[in-house]
């Protein structure tokens, strides 16, 4: 395995610093900060940015595999076009409650498909 120099020293190029994370679809209520849709949507973008910052490749995009049931969430994001620049997004037909973000499993908690 090739070792790559990073700002934190040498590391294995396939090593993930963040292997699991979670995001709560329903967010605890009441939270005034999340009273607007854009603020609520920003919480998942922040979580994705956290994963990307910890596991980003040294070149190229991170692959993100998303179940079709979460597609409306992502397509409604204000910065969806920016996500498409950072991630290679693939929607798949599966009924799991997680998204694979470059090898990190992002669990989507409390999702109710209306």
DSSP 14-80: T--S--EEEEESS--S--GGGSSHHHHHHHHHHHHHHHHHHH--SSSPEEEEEEGGGHHHHHT-TTH
C-alpha distance from residue 49 to each of 10, 19, 33 (Å): 22, 14, 19
Question: Which residue, 113, 114, 108, is CA-closest to 48?
Answer: 108
Secondary structure element (H or E) that encloses residue 6, with its range = strand 3-6
Asked if residues 34 and 26 have their Cβ atoms less than 8 Å apart, the reply is no
pTM: 0.73
Q: What is the pLDDT along the chain (114 residues), one digit of tens a residue?
A: 444 333 333 344 456 677 888 888 776 555 555 455 556 677 888 888 888 888 776 666 788 999 999 998 888 888 889 888 888 999 999 999 999 998 889 999 888 776
């Amino acid at each position: 395995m090739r070792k790559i120099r990073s700002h934190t020293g040498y590391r294995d190029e396939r090593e993930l610093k963040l292997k699991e994370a979670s995001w709560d679809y329903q967010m605890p209520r009441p939270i005034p900060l999340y009273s607007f849709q854009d603020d609520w949507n920003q919480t998942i973008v922040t979580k994705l940015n956290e994963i990307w910052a910890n596991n980003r490749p040294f070149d190229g995009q991170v692959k993100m595999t998303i179940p079709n049931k979460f597609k409306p969430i992502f397509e409604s994001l204000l910065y969806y076009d920016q996500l498409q620049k950072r991630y290679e997004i693939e929607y798949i037909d599966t009924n799991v409650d997680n998204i694979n973000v470059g090898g990190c499993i992002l669990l989507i908690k409390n999702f109710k498909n209306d």
